[in-house]
Amino acid sequence: MKIGNCDIGNKLFLAPMADVTDTAFRKISAEYGAGFTFTQMVSALGIIENEFESLRYLTFNRSEKPIGVQLLGSDFGIIREAVKEVSKFNPDLIDLNCGCSVDKVTNYNFGSALLDDPKTIGKLVDTMVHSSNGIPISIKVRLGKDKNHINVIETAKAAEENGASVIFVHARMRNDKYSTVVQTEWIKKVKDELKIPVVGNGSVFTPADAKKMINDTGCDSVMIARGALGNPFLFQRYNAMLDTGNDPGEPEIETVTEVLLKHIALVVKDYGEINSFDKIKKLAVWYFKNYPGIDNFLEKVFALTNVSELINLINTHTGDIKSKKFKLIEMSEVQNKFKERVLFWLVDNKTESVN
């Protein structure tokens, strides 16, 4: 599919993920076959006030293109100025977040709070289109407030009529948990009604899931969030499946470790050892989550105090997996747990943040 002049072929999208899709994550995902990546959501106000974290979230390297920047906001003037600023960096797409459902976002009438008012979304898109200096504009939405207020078609049409180039549909309602089954029939309905490309999103964890979403809904591509955590191989496997008709399956553990260590090196380079330590512990858990011994790894990772200890544990753990030290366990339970508590899976008593 095409976004403006940028052709991403049949490849998949990496979804915006707060605290996750930083430069390192995007680089690894693209290297392993993602066709298009996104920054995490960035506060429009933070951008125009030159707020340090916002500018950091927004920054990307030219080599990362094609890339989209996602904005969070709802004030017309602030959105206009933020889009003007962002367009100077020349991303390939500027997206408006209409899906985030955490209270600290919706309380300000940002994110999925906008879904109550498709006309306002249309006007915001119009504002963005007229201040982006030709850079295509998109929105990322959920289906509506709840099952009695599904208005995604109205929202999508308002965006299209006002010049949006793409729409990303996370096929859940605002208050649905990530364990709620995705209602892909709505992606199909949106696709049937719109002329612009429609990208489906929600619970795609394997190449076969992605193919099924495209076959069932006719959507132009699929966007992956949780499925890409510790698993850039998903993009590579999907591309291989399109080329050869076969999914090559999960990689060997040596490959997983090699990519994990490469990923860690990129993160440490960007943030420094101390600031990146929590982030890279999470990364390590994500990369190992599909392999036997994950419980054992989780027990040990908490006690570590620095990066070199973590790298030692990663190497020992890889050796233990290779030598089949761990019993084969029923992975579905581990995977369900992971899907429910993505972010803080390795931190006691914290609950998942739902975007």
Ligand X SMILES: Cc1cc2nc3c(=O)[nH]c(=O)nc-3n(C[C@H](O)[C@H](O)[C@H](O)COP(=O)(O)O)c2cc1C
> Which residues would be at the binding site for ligand X (CB under 6 A)?
15-18, 20, 40-41, 70, 97, 99-100, 140, 170, 201-204, 224-227, 342-343, 355
State the nearest-atom distance from the C-beta of 156 to ligand X, in Å.
15
CA angle in degrees (0–180, nearest 5) for 100-107-54: 60
CA distance 173 to 150: 8
Q: Which is nearer to ligand X, 20 or 135 (CB)?
A: 20
State the nearest-atom distance from the C-beta of 142 to ligand X, in Å.
8
CA distance 115 to 112: 5
Cβ neighbours, 10 Å, residue 258: 13
**Angle, helix 294-301 to helix 273-288, in steps of 10 degrees:** 160
Q: Which is nearer to ligand X, 172 or 188 (CB)?
A: 172
State the nearest-atom distance from the C-beta of 327 to ligand X, in Å.
29
State the nearest-atom distance from the C-beta of 46 to ligand X, in Å.
13
Closest CA to 33 of 165, 202, 222: 222
State the nearest-atom distance from the C-beta of 170 to ligand X, in Å.
4
Q: Which is nearer to ligand X, 198 or 342 (CB)?
A: 342
Closest CA to 16 of 31, 26, 8: 26
State the nearest-atom distance from the C-beta of 249 to ligand X, in Å.
20
State the nearest-atom distance from the C-beta of 182 to ligand X, in Å.
7
Q: Which is nearer to ligand X, 236 or 318 (CB)?
A: 236
Q: Which is nearer to ligand X, 16 or 230 (CB)?
A: 16
Closest CA to 340 of 280, 289, 267, 301: 289
Q: Residue 13 forms beta bridges with which residues?
A: 36, 223
Q: Which is nearer to ligand X, 15 or 266 (CB)?
A: 15
Instruction: Identify whether the C-beta of residue 86 lies closer than 8 Å to the C-beta of residue 94.
Output: yes
Which is it for the CA torsion 341, 95, 264, 326, positive or negative? positive
Instruction: Identify whether the C-beta of residue 261 lies closer than 8 Å to the C-beta of residue 311.
Output: yes
Q: Which is nearer to ligand X, 39 or 132 (CB)?
A: 39
State the nearest-atom distance from the C-beta of 252 to ligand X, in Å.
25
Closest CA to 162 of 119, 197, 202: 119
Q: Which is nearer to ligand X, 201 or 290 (CB)?
A: 201
Could you list the beta-strand ranges (E) of 8-135.
13-14, 37-43, 67-72, 93-98
